[in-house]
Amino acid sequence: MPEVWTSLKLIHWTADFFEKKGIPNPRLDAELLLAHLLKCKRIDLYTAHEKKIPEKDLAKYKELIRRRAAREPLQYITGETEFWGLPIKVTPEVLIPRPETELLVEEALKVPGSKLILDIGTGSGCIAVALAKNLSDARIVATDISKEAIETARENAGLHGVADRIEFVLANIAPWRVFEAEGRRFDLIVSNPPYIPSDEFPNLQPEVRDFEPRKALDGGLDGLEVIRRILEEAPGFLRPGGLLLLEIGEGEADLLQNLKTETLLLQGFKKDYGGVERILILKKA
Ligand code: GLN
């Protein structure tokens, strides 16, 4: 490394290094890590591109680069991501929110009259928080099987000022017995469940395979194990005419097309930007 490191020089060097290491977006990641370190916006790196980076920051940056080069997801290093235009905190205990899941929010927001919503497997809480931010008179119950996820989701709800309208519950899928006792019926149920078939894990990119929580991703043998449970259990707690929106994996629409249930009527699928049928929409008869 040369003596004087300016932002620009550092970005060039790092982008080059990441490229050799096979990191997917080398330049972008170099910039985002430096912006994170300097606590500035990415764009600010350019207005100050001749700025000299102090020695102590260089040492810290080196550590960030090392982690990213080992394929740790950028979002776990910076501790946050953006979802539906909102900054969302993430930890390695939660799935990193994906752009596809914004489609689920988009569809959910089209449903009129949602006063009581259930979000199954909330993870970082990104769906619940986005819905609460956009539906000012909705109340949401958000569940997760992971205590750490619930903590992170609660933190995100607090950061966005919607904690008073989201009830977080530690549960495997949902506390159906409690709902039963309370006579709860939801207007809308949403979920981004684990749906990757177990045998696909060896082929996943290392960021996902080696760093993201397996229980948030692994949908069992055919990828549909959790989805099937939701389809069996959820309708009992959906009001007649209520909708169930599920994010699903590539190729799963075909398998789910024939999965008939008595109470749930298939409304259709919503494709993501890659043309994959990503959101399954069902209505309770
Ligand atoms: N969309 C994620 C991925 O492909 C999977 C999310 C999930 O299983 N719910 O990595």
pLDDT digit string (tens) for 129-139? Answer: 999 999 999 99
C-alpha 140/C-alpha 45 separation (Å) is 39
Distance of CA 194 from the midpoint of ligand 1 (Å): 7
Q: For residue range 43-93, what is the model confidence (pLDDT) as tens digits?
A: 999 888 888 999 999 999 999 999 999 999 999 999 999 999 999 999 999
Give pLDDT tens digits for 193-241.
999 999 999 999 999 999 999 999 999 999 999 999 999 999 999 999 9
pLDDT at 47: 86
| Substitution candidate for ligand 1 out of 247, 273, 276 with most atoms within 8 A of CB | 247
> pLDDT tens, 3-45?
789 999 999 999 999 999 999 999 999 999 999 999 999 999 9
Choice from 196, 230, 247, 248 to test ligand 1 binding pocket (greatest atom count within 8 A of CB): 196
List pocket residues of ligand 1, CB cut-off 6 Å.
98, 100, 192-196, 208, 217, 247
Instruction: Output the CA 240–ligand 1 centroid distance in Å.
Output: 30
pLDDT digits (tens, 9 = 90+) for 139-163: 999 999 999 999 999 999 999 999 9
In the reported structure, the alpha carbon of residue 25 is separated from the centroid of ligand 1 by a whole-number distance in angstroms of 19
Helices (H), 235-274: 252-257
Considering Cα of 250, then 251, then 257, then 259, what sign does the dihedral take?
A: negative
Distance of CA 60 from the midpoint of ligand 1 (Å): 31
User: Helices marked H in 5-98 — which ranges?
Assistant: 7-20, 26-38, 44-47, 55-69, 74-78
Atom of ligand 1 nearest to the CA of 219: 8
Ligand 1 probe mutation, 217, 230, 252, most atoms within 8 A of CB: 217
Those residues whose C-beta lies under 8 Å from the C-beta of residue 52, and which sit 6 or more positions away, are: 4, 5, 6
The beta strands (E) that lie in 84-233 are given as 86-89, 116-120, 139-144, 166-170, 186-191
Q: What is the pTM of this model?
A: 0.95
**CA dist., res. 122 & res. 27, Å (int):** 31
